[in-house]
Amino acid sequence: MAVEGNAIDALSQFELGTVGGAIGASVGFTQSNLHMVIAGALIVLLMVIGMRPRAIVPGRLQSVAESAYGFIDDMVVSQVGPEGRRFFPFVFTLFMFILFGNMLGLFPYAFTYTSHISMTFTLAAIVIVLVTLVALSIHGMHFFSYFFPEGAPLWLAPIIIPVEIVSYLSRPISLSIRLFANMVAGHVMLKVFATFIVMLAGLGTIGPFLSIMPLAINVVLVGFEVLVAFLQAYVFAILTCIYLHDAVHLH
């Protein structure tokens, strides 16, 4: 399916389809959603089965679960402050959901649900709506002073206020495009070099030797993609924390 004639088809991996037969089709349950369910199940299994021993000195799986917990807990507390603890479950869910989606997408035949802009934008929109609601509930109407920094000359207001509003509204866009673009670029590159392997291997006697080069590149790329998968989940989570900090403290 990757090679149709001599064309490289790197984008068909992102096409949506339904799973679960007629029932899945009738409720529009896509393979993207199936992978979300798998990722969610893995997260819950990691946290529940990993913590089951409740050991004082943790074993391997418990260490993973505890370090994931401690990593996000530290992030939330250091970025938002101690009062940000109540956002911890949300940030933890967000981080693990994106991380497992990115990692799961690296398996062959798997679908990367974070490679859809509509999906990443929905998550970013949840974050921005949450941040705005938190800011409004804590500061009330005083929240709108966020768009005009204190001490700025009043005559600059016509410039500063639109700029601040645009920058505030562009947050979900940058947040969602960053994740989406990174995942798409990585998977397109993997697919392109994988296609090269097949195409070069078909070039007669010398082909299999030539195809080692794109294979080597792909091996490196997979390692790189693991890094990107973690990094993008981290960036999404830490930006969420920074926005929450702004919402709680207003600058």
Partner 1 sequence: MPQLDFANPLMMSKLVWLLIIFGILYYVLKTYALPQVASVLDQRAARIAADLNAARDAQAAGEAALAELRASTAAARAEAQAAISAAMVEAQAAAAKQAAEINERLSAQVAQAEAQVRAARDQAMGALREVAGETANAMLARLSVKAPANDVAAAVDRVASQGAV
Please tell me whether residue 116 binds partner 1 under the rule CB under 8 A. Answer: yes
For residues 22-81, which are near partner 1 according to CB under 8 A? 27-30, 32-33, 36-37, 40, 43-44, 47-48, 51, 54, 56, 62, 65-66, 69-70
Q: Min. distance of Cβ 45 from partner 1 in angstroms? A: 10
User: At 184, which amino acid appears?
Assistant: V
Return the residue of 79, 80, 92, 128 that touches partner 1, per CB under 8 A.
92
For residues 123 and 98, the answer to whether their CB atoms sit within 8 Å is: yes
For residues 120-139, which are near partner 1 according to CB under 8 A? 122-123, 126
The answer to whether the Cα torsion of 60, 62, 68, 72 is positive or negative is: negative
Assign 206 to helix, strand or coil. coil
List CB contacts of 162: < 8 A, sequence separation 6 or more.
Answer: none
Please tell me whether residue 115 binds partner 1 under the rule CB under 8 A. Answer: yes
List CB contacts of 122: < 8 A, sequence separation 6 or more.
Answer: none
Q: Which is nearer to partner 1, 74 or 219 (CB)?
A: 74
Beta strands in 58-98 (DSSP E): none
For residues 32 and 116, the answer to whether their CB atoms sit within 8 Å is: yes
Q: Which is nearer to partner 1, 118 or 145 (CB)?
A: 118
Please tell me whether residue 90 binds partner 1 under the rule CB under 8 A. Answer: yes
Please tell me whether residue 212 binds partner 1 under the rule CB under 8 A. Answer: no
**Region binding partner 1 by CB under 8 A among candidate stretches 112-120, 133-141, 190-198, 229-237:** 112-120
